A and B are shown apart, each in its own frame.
Chain A
Amino acid sequence: MSAVNQANTNYGIKAHLKFSPQKSLQDLLILDVEVQLPGKGIIAVFGDSGSGKTTFLRCLAGLERPQQGELIVNNSVWQSAKQFTPTHKRPLGYVFQEASLFPHLSARQNIVYAIKRAEGEVSEEFYQHVIGILGIAEILDRYPDQLSGGERQRVAIARALVVKPEILLMDEPLASLDHARKQEVLPYLERLHKSIDIPIVYVSHSMDEIMRLADYALVLQQGKVIAQGDLNDVFSRIDLPYSGQDEAGTVVEGQVAERDDNWHLSRIALSNQSMWLRDQGDDIGQSVRVRILARDVSIVLSVHDDSSILNRLQVTVVEVGVDTDEALALVKLALGDDFIVARLTHKSVAHLQLSPGMIVWAQIKSAAIVR
């Protein structure tokens, strides 16, 4: 598990937070989270609405004050039994769900507002770099009400980033945008990921966004952590509440090894095998991320060439579990260092007599390069 795993070596955020809102009696969410998060990469915080993911992020920022807690970011204590650093003294960037530009300031003035209060000097070069990553050079003189939702969100991200925070917190930054705007902003987030080496804690309930962006995942349910780890490890688990969803699946990392112009396909080298996928114009040698949905994976015991399915990977059965649908089973399969999941009927599992340790062929009906 190439790039994904490196994040594991450097723990940047240590948090043990207990928080219960005092006022709202209807919504008795009690957040109780103890985690160590990597010091780089995109850390997805995933969960249903009401799982406490936004509350967790607000506690990291100091916008909520956990009744008990310890929070250490990059070796500096933000909260302990004796101490609570207020939000404005924490070197963080925060992007809210709805773009939260100051309406009385232009896009540029919004960014300058942050620069004026930055701890260190913000060089003109870095300012231009951030403006460039987010592609907002043309719209800097406009006021928030003259910007589209996607543009506003890009300015808000630039405003958070330009002061070089030690950590960037993003609370569903795409959730308030329609599909087209999401597609407009996503590539900027991917560029961000490549060009900024600070950890980004990214709250989302969208599996799509997480599969495209995240390196590490933290799954919350009713205020508690139910899973955490590298993206592939977390989403190849078959015992979690979302394991049986239609969009459940994993991503595996690979490189473009070969391009076939005749058929418009590229060969993606995975850790020990390769797949042919629709060419998306990526150069040879480029790292890509392939998303394989559990529902698109079927299993055969022997190789047949008389199938329309192009990709057939040799895998080892790791675990067989039940789906939320009583007819279906989930089968976790090892593919080199990564895992994929197949969603099959119980009847097929019984028929093939699948059991842990068996070496079988996974037929992948479709898969997509997501990055």
Chain B
Amino acid sequence: MMLSDADLSAIWLTLKLATTVTIILLLIGTPIAWWLARTSSWLKGPIGATVALPLVLPPTVLGFYLLIAMSPEGIIGQLTQSLGIGALPFTYNGLVFASVIYSMPFVVQPIQNAIEAIGQRPLEVAATLRAGPLDRFFTVVVPLAKPGFITATIMGFAHTVGEFGVVLMIGGNIPDETRVVSVQLYDHVESLAYSQAHTLAALLITFSFVTLVALYCFQRKQTPIAIK
């Protein structure tokens, strides 16, 4: 069974979305992970829990609230309108925003764990060797937390590829704009096009399986890095 043009465009959109979301998450997730790993503030609990919420919430709940917030009357909607971006629901940008929230814990947690495992000592050592804060981050934290960053990248990407509930709630089903692979698959099933559904489903299973095998092989190869 061949992939239709609509299927291909859904796959392309999915890859574009997952890549964008992963890059954004690495950029904003890293400082959050750093803060969570280092702080002794009482806010650590509430903020850590907020970041982790998508792990336990049904995606529809998250999608519902995001839809409300992003509507022209919502907080986020007001903000985006005043910034001239317009309303976010049923747009690609809205999907990116929602996916960033939804996939956040999968990126923040591995990085946070890796930074916690490094401990304070290597940073103190670097400081006594005249490395300033940014220098310490890039020459000590990043190389020592590399396994965490790689895990975070793979998990963030794979999880964004696999999302469905949030997309349906706030993205809808607009070709080339918000119709990602999981939604396209749902469409095929709805219209009883089972053979096309099989193709896409098999593709997603293969992708997920290969990704996880790659991740586990990588994690097995990594010995825990301890400072000696």
Give me the interface of A with B, judged by CB distance under 8 Å. Answer: 23, 61-63, 86-89, 92-94, 96, 98-104, 113-114, 117-119, 144-145, 147, 152, 159-160, 163
Contacts and interface: CB of A to CB of B under 8 A. Distances in A.
Contacts of A159: 129
A89 B140 contact: no
A262 to B, nearest CB: 50
Contacts of B121: 96, 100
Given A103-B144, A145-B228, A88 B127 contact: yes
Contacts of B130: 88-89, 114, 117-119, 163
Given A87-B124, A100-B122, A103-B144, A114 B228 contact: no
A102 B227 contact: yes
A181 to B, nearest CB: 14
B139 A113 contact: yes
A103 B228 contact: yes
Most chain B CB atoms below 10 A, which of A63, A87, A163: A87
B131 interface: yes
Nearest to A95: B128
Contact of A102 (B122, B132, B133, B135): B122
Nearest to B139: A113
Interface residues of B, number: 23
B212 interface: no
Contacts of B122: 100, 102
Closest 9 CB pairs of A and B: A94-B128, A87-B127, A117-B130, A144-B228, A100-B125, A114-B129, A104-B143, A88-B127, A88-B130
Contacts of A160: 128-129
Contacts of B127: 62-63, 86-88
B135 A117 contact: yes
B82 interface: no
Contacts of A114: 129-130
A100 to B, nearest CB: 4
A355 to B, nearest CB: 52
Most chain B CB atoms below 10 A, which of A63, A93, A119, A152: A63
B225 interface: yes
Contacts of B228: 98-99, 101, 103, 144-145, 147, 152
Given A100-B121, A103-B225, A113-B139, 7 more contacts: A61-B128, A88-B129, A94-B125, A117-B131, A144-B227, A145-B228, A147-B228
Contacts of B133: 88
B128 A93 contact: yes
A94 B227 CA distance: 16
B144 to A, nearest CB: 6
A145 B225 CA distance: 10
A326 to B, nearest CB: 45
B40 interface: yes
A86 B135 CA distance: 14
Interface in B199-228: 225-228
Most chain B CB atoms below 10 A, which of A62, A102, A160: A102
30 contacts: A63-B124, A63-B127, A63-B128, A87-B124, A88-B126, A88-B129, A88-B135, A88-B136, A93-B128, A94-B124, A94-B125, A96-B121, A98-B228, A99-B228, A102-B125, A102-B126, A102-B140, A102-B144, A103-B144, A103-B228, A104-B143, A113-B139, A114-B130, A117-B130, A117-B131, A118-B130, A144-B227, A145-B228, A159-B129, A160-B128
Nearest to B140: A102
A214 B133 CA distance: 34
Contacts of B226: 103
Interface in B106-133: 121-122, 124-133
Most chain A CB atoms below 10 A, which of B127, B130, B140, B144: B130
A152 B33 CA distance: 31
A197 B144 CA distance: 35
A65 to B, nearest CB: 12
A103 B227 contact: yes
A99 B226 CA distance: 12
